[in-house]
Amino acid sequence: MTSTPKKTLTLKKKPQSSNEDRRVRSGARARQAQQMQRLRQEDTPTTPAAPAAQTPQRSARITKRAKPPTGYAPTRPAPPAPRKPVPVQGPEIQARFSAERHGRFPVFAPCPQGLEEALAVELQALGFDQVSQGRAGCHFVADWQDVLRANLYSRLATRILVQMSYAKIQNEDELYELAYQTPWENWFGPQHTLRVDTSAIRSPFQSLQFANLRVKDAICDRLRDREGARPDIDTVRPDAKVHAFLNEDSATLYIDSSGESLFKRGWRHHKGDAPLRENLAAGLLALSDWDPNAPLIDPFCGSGTILIEAAWIALGAPPGIWRPFHFERLRDHDAKAWQDLKAEARANIAAEIEIPLVGCDINPAAIEAAQANLARAHLHPNTIRFETGNALAIQPVAAQGWIVTNPPYGERLDETDTEFWEQWATHLKRNFAGWSVNLITSDLDIPSKLRLKPNRRYPLYNGPLDCRLFTFQMVPASNR
């Protein structure tokens, strides 16, 4: 796969409540202990394991079938006795299947465009095999336990798509055939609700909507033929999500193991003004080479995304520790293995962070939102100092450190801001010598407005906005 799949709908689900007893302490250490206890608390699976699945096919020559009926039952019917699949006749196409529970899967992890290299480094550090960069994402090979680990630990991926089948195809009937022959029943059945999304690059198909419908029909027909009933379609809160990716001559079908996008860590409630996505914020910290043992300031912090992300990185808190995932709803979900994986992750969360993390914003409502988000991120109020203030007045908290920030830009700026940037550059030169200043902006003229030469510039997309992360190393006046 070479592109980011289309945005899919997200699930809004609250994190699980804690069952763990809390020890009563007082003072600063008590607050730290409480904070860590909050981060480490166990949650419990919400979805019971579904019935066992049949053994999948590994690869097959697939033949075209007579078109089955389409459409979905409005309510789930009582399942009739399973029928035998209809024997098929027709032109053959070559397909590869990887839908066996205990096998290894090609995986595609989409990410914000521009973070591919950083994501590849992250996936390699997590120990995944055959990591390679694609367009707006990375490929790797994983077993199902690795899929769980990728969901739990990746800070940069947007979702984890597990490849179920692939074939060269020429038309929608062959797409139908590929989807029909894929052993979905290993993962979900008529008891599960389903959503299918389709994205494409250079696909010759006239209508993506129609292609999407064919995949949906094929999956539902297969489950009806095998298990006697079709799954219901639910585009808002599906149990199972399938993603079809089409290019000029092939189709790849994935199960979306994540569900809600992975940038939703489960803590954002207060959005503030133009919040960054959490995985982009983590990417900015990675590209800025921020050292998690060094001070960090965000002078335009808005709802606090960069600093909250940084606090979780510094604590070693896995980004997925507080949220649900779609793999928990699929058949044969191993709830015990998942709980064990999370328990191991919680045990590795540091007890406290010593470094100063400071955020300021001129808008008091943004600071309120940041503080509320901090609490929802299970962090003690003292972990990050959020204060209302002007970026022109913020002072360094150490001789050296990092500024990583997402200043206002685009439609939020007016012409008078050239003056503002000049003033801010003067402030940085006077007060932040020795600091690394990193700005993500869609205003590509920022370096000339600041009259500073960037050491690095990384092309990045913030949603649809073509941006750059500019890195400036502030040097003492005598060295300029």
Ligand X SMILES: C[S@@+](CC[C@H](N)C(=O)[O-])C[C@H]1O[C@@H](n2cnc3c(N)ncnc32)[C@H](O)[C@@H]1O
Q: How far apart are CB 463 and ligand X at their closest, in Å? A: 12
* HSE toward the beta carbon, residue 334, CA cutoff 13 A: 11
d(CA 368, CA 389): 13
Secondary structure letter of residue 348 according to DSSP: T
**HSE, side-chain direction, 13 A CA sphere, residue 441:** 23
Residue closest to ligand X (Cβ): 302
Work out the widest C-alpha separation in the chain, in whole angstroms. Answer: 84
Rounded Cα distance between 71 and 215, Å, is: 12
Binding stretches for ligand X (CB under 6 A): 272-276, 299-300, 302-303, 305-306, 360-363, 366, 390-391, 406-408
- At its nearest, how many Å lie between ligand X and the CB of residue 120? 25
Contact 107, 130 (CB under 8 A): no
Instruction: For 318-357, give one letter per residue: b (16+ CB within 10 A) or e.
Output: bbbbbbbbbbbbbbebbeeebeebbeebbeebeebbebeb
CB 397 within 8 A of CB 354: no
CB of 275 to ligand X, least distance (A): 4
By C-alpha distance, which of 330, 408, 385, 371 is closest to 147?
330
Q: β-pairing, 465-473 with 104-110?
A: unpaired
Contact 241, 197 (CB under 8 A): yes
- Cα–chain center distance at 224: 32
Burial state string for 122-135 with b = 16 or more CB within 10 A and e = fewer than 16: bbeebebeebebbe
Nearer to ligand X by Cβ, of 106 and 359: the residue is 359
> What are phi and psi for residue 131, nearest 5 degrees?
-75, 130
The Cα-based distances of 229 to 11, 82, 184 in angstroms read 25, 8, 14
Q: Which residues pair with 287 in a beta bridge?
A: none
Handedness of CA 269, 270, 275, 280 (dihedral sign): negative
Cα 235 to Cα 17, 252, 469, distances in angstroms: 27, 21, 35
Give the three-state DSSP class for 284: helix
